[in-house]
Structure formats: C-alpha cells, structure tokens
Amino acid sequence: MASKIKLNIAKTVFNVFRPQWVNTSFETIFKYFSKVEYDPQAGVYWVLNLPNDDANKLHPDLLKNVKKELVENIGGVDETHVNEGKDEYKFNIKLDTRQFVKDVLESDPISLNFEPIGKKVIVEYSSPNIAKPFHVGHLRSTIIGNSIANIKKKLGNNVFKLNYLGDWGTQFGIIQLGVEHENYTIDDIKKDPINLLFKAYVKGNQLSKLDQDAYEKAKKNFYLLERQDEKLIQLWDKYRMWTLEELNATYKRLGVEFDSFSWESDYRRSHADNVLKLLEEKGILSTDEFQKKVAVIDDKVIPLIKSDNTTLYICRDLMAVLDRISTHNFDEMYYVVDNGQAEHFTNLFKLCEKLEISKNKILRQIKFGKINGMKTRKGNVIFLKDVIDEARERVLAKQQSTKTTKTSADDRETADVLGVSAVIINDLKRSRTKDYAAKWEDMLQMTSDTGVFLQYCHCRLCNLSLECGKTMASYCDPQALKEIEAINLIKQIANYESILIKSNETLQPKELVSYLFALCRATNGALKNLNVKSSDDHTGSQRLLLFEKTRSVLEDGMKLLGLKPLRKM
C-alpha cells in the first residue's frame, strides 16, 4: 500500500514538472522519494528531496500546481509545503492518518502495487557435488539463493531456479579409485550409497596425495569417462542417481525447490570445440609450454583444457553460459557461491566480456562467507543432515523441559520445522558476505531474533483468530484503531513492499529478516495492549482485521525466506 501511494505521488509530481524536465526519466524523479517519515501525532509525511540544481529550475507556479494536483489525485492530502535547505528542497506532503490507516487495511498487504519488473532471471545456487553428503558449506548457497530467487519472483521477474551439480572432473576419478581400492561392489554401494561413496572419495584422495601412480590412475579414470567408457559411464550414472535421491530428501526438509537440475557433464570435452573456436577468433586462445589450452586476457592466463585434453571447470562454466543464453535468453544471471571462488568468476566474466556474449546482460556472483564453530553433541559437524537433525533434537529437548508448551515431546515433524527455521534465520539475519560463528543457544531462543521467534509470533496470530470469539471486520474504521500500538503496526504493514524492493536491490535477505523481526516486535506490543476477546464486538472485529493483515504479511515474508509457517506450536 505504501508503495502505491508513493508511486502516485511520484507520477503526479513528475507530470507537473515534465515540461521543465524534458530529458529526465521517470526513474530519476522516482529516486528522489525517500522513505515514509512518520509522526503519530501529526500524521504521515512523504518527502521529496530535490537537489538545489534541480530545484532552482522550478518556476514558483509549479509548486502551486503540484499542491493542486496532489489534492485531486491523492486521497487524504491535508497539506503540502516546501522547506528550502542548504543543499536541497524538501517537498513535504502530509497525509491524513485516518485515510492512511483505511487505505492500508482495506488493501491486500502482500499484493504488488506497481508494474512487475518482468526480467528473465536465472539464479544458480546450492550446486553440490555427486557422491558426497550435502556438506554444511552448501547450506548458505542453498538458503541465500532460494530466498533471493523467491524475492525476485515476488517482484514480478520471470525467475528460473537452477541447481548446477558437480558430476564431472577428476573428482569422479578419485571416487572410483577409492571404490576399487576398498573393493566395494555395486550391491555394497546400493545399500548405503552416499556414506560408502564418500568414504571412497576420502580414501581415493589420500591415495592420490601419497602415490603419484594412484593420482595418474584417477586422472585416467576421468579421461576414460570423457571418452564414454561404457563401464565407467554406467557407474557414474548410478552414482548421480543415488546422490540426487539423498539431496532431494534434504531439499524437502529445507523447503527448497528448483526449476531444473543441470549437470557439469552436460558440458564435456566433445562440446568444447565451439567455445575454443570463438576464443581463437577473438585472438585470445593459445597453447602453453605444458600443452594446455589457455585464454590470455590482459596478461592474465586462464587455463581451459588440461594437457591430457580433458576440460577444466571454467571451460565447462563458459559452455554453460553460452547454452543458457541460447536456451533462456536471460537478462540477469546470478551465481550464489562463496567468497573463495571470486577469482574464478572474475575470470569467467572476463571471458564472457571478451567474447561479447554478455552485452546487455548482468552476470554476477552473489558472494557469502563461511559458517564457523557449528558442532553437534557428538563433535564437529560436517554434513547438513547432521545440522538439521541436531536442531530438531535440541528443539525436542527444549519442549520437554518447558511446561507451557502445547506441542507433545514426540512431535518430531513440528520440531523439524522449528529446527530448520532456526538454522535458516540464524544464517539469513546477518550480512551474507561475512563469516560467522554459529551458537545453538542463541539460534533456538523464542523471545529474541530467531526463526523460532517468527514461528511463535505467527502461531499466536493464528491462535487469536480461533479463540477470540470475534468476527473479522470487512471494512476498516480508523476511529477504532487510534492507539499508538495499532498505528505502529499499520506502519510496519505498509512498509512491506519497500523492504522487498530494498532486499532485491541489495541482494541481502537480511533486510527482509530484520523487517519481520520488527513486525513481530510491533505485533507483540499490540497483542499486549489491544485485547480482542474482552473488547466490544466492533472494536474487537477491527483489531482482528489489523492482526489478520499482520499475519498475512508475516506468513508471506516467512515463505519468501524458505520457512514453512506453523499454525500451532
């Protein structure tokens, strides 16, 4: 709702100023509008800040025309005036509080009130390797990428969620080396695929580091795989299938879905010739003294093909970009990958720029830091399943020790949802670019800024509608919602769209998380002082309308972050 009022004000002012700002785009005018400045005693102010260079161009009569047009086009305008400062003009518009409250609560708080952005966007995230358990290091990519993709889709973009799995490269040769050394049969692996394949990888890696012959054997395994060795292809395909089954079970618990699973093996050596030809035509492809094929850009040497003629990761990534341009013709593509791969993506984007394939397109790495210190009672955590299981068990233990809980101690499904919520919000509430230390005791608190706190607030609102004995009003009577707690909560509801836009622009889910925390704190204050059940029917129905609009926003925001909102706990 707030964005709708803001947009209408921007359009009205722009149409009045248009004759003097012939060469100024609407987007430029719109950026001058800052956030809502709220004074509960005086009403709501929308402020247009004009730099003096622009303000000095205005004819005095324009300001009179703006006031006239605003009164005609924007409901509830009480007054307008201009404050001339040292560096800027502040154009203040005072809205009637009652009209503002009515507009907010009689609209759908989670629907868009502006034109959808409508860009084609690919978000590549999670992207673990086959034959390995889902490592805790992939947690951040998965939940950051999922929330960013959800927010972009909410704002009207055509979003394609892509999971690009690592199933190619020397790592396969190392796994197979370990399988052969440990004498694992297909029947052995089938009974416990991920555990045994990971053990095989660890063993193969140890052998490769200690014995050069073993390393050469691992390289040969991948060399034969790239040349379609029938036996290795069959094994590789089984390893992929078993890995995907394990991953899907974890994604289901996390509430994460993808539009497509893509594989590194889709871009193998036999498909690389077209890329090499393009690089050669641009004059940046050469062969070094070790017989590797490399690209040279501004004295930077980027290896693409190894001396044994097998592909490197960056070559496969470059093939993938070309394929995605052809298949999706995207406007923007984002790679949600940790800080440690910054150089890889810098090189990839340089290659795309030299090949002139990224014109009018945005290619960007969404970087994130590491999680430190996350441990279970058994010791150090390596795998994400261990983290989620640990969170669930800690929630169950907390429930057993809390006399007031309404959930039975064996309600493992609810505990799992709460545990996952705790893990997700503990990550998303902070800047994604920084490392952080995870602390279970902070993560699971119900009264502080946690995922459990959000779930608790949502459950309180759901329970209110069931037990208050009132019927929600079908219209808003602002006279029944004059308390400061009500006005503060309405202000939070009105700001939802602006927060989504900010979160999208900064690619920081923490903006939305911080907003939901503030919304819940305002909700708790309102629930404490705005009793529904004991109030008269009219007042109670109006308050219930306010709390249901709040619940709707909270539920929508939680879903965008990847949470499954509970209705009771």
What lies within 8 Å, CB to CB, of 312 at 6+ separation is: 303, 304, 305, 306
Token pair 């400062």: residue = 85
Residue 89 DSSP SS3:
strand
Distance CA 2, CA 218 (A): 60
Cα distances (Å, whole numbers) of residue 262 to 128, 163, 165, 211, 367: 11, 6, 6, 34, 21
Q: Please report, as a single letter, which amino acid is at residue 560.
A: L
3-state secondary structure of 533: coil
Whether the Cβ atoms of residue 504 and residue 552 lie closer than 8 Å to each other? no
Q: Which residues are catalytic?
A: 132, 135, 138
Spell out the residues 6+ positions from residue 309 whose beta carbon is closer than 8 angstroms to its own: 223, 269
Torsion angle defined by CA atoms of residues 150, 382, 243 and 139, in that order, rounded to the nearest 10 degrees: 10
Contact criterion met (CB below 8 Å) for 257 and 149: no
Q: Which H helix or E strand runs over 77?
A: strand 77-84
What is the rounded distance in angstroms from the CA atom of residue 16 to the CA atom of residue 48?
A: 14
Quote the strand ranges of 271-374, DSSP E.
285-287, 293-297, 300-305, 332-336, 362-366, 371-372
User: How do strand 293-297 and strand 300-305 relate by DSSP bridges?
Assistant: antiparallel
CA distances from 563 to 56, 123, 354, 451, 522 (A): 50, 19, 41, 8, 21
User: Residue 163 belongs to what H/E stretch?
Assistant: strand 158-165
Residue in 245, 249, 225 with CA at minimum distance from that of residue 236: 225
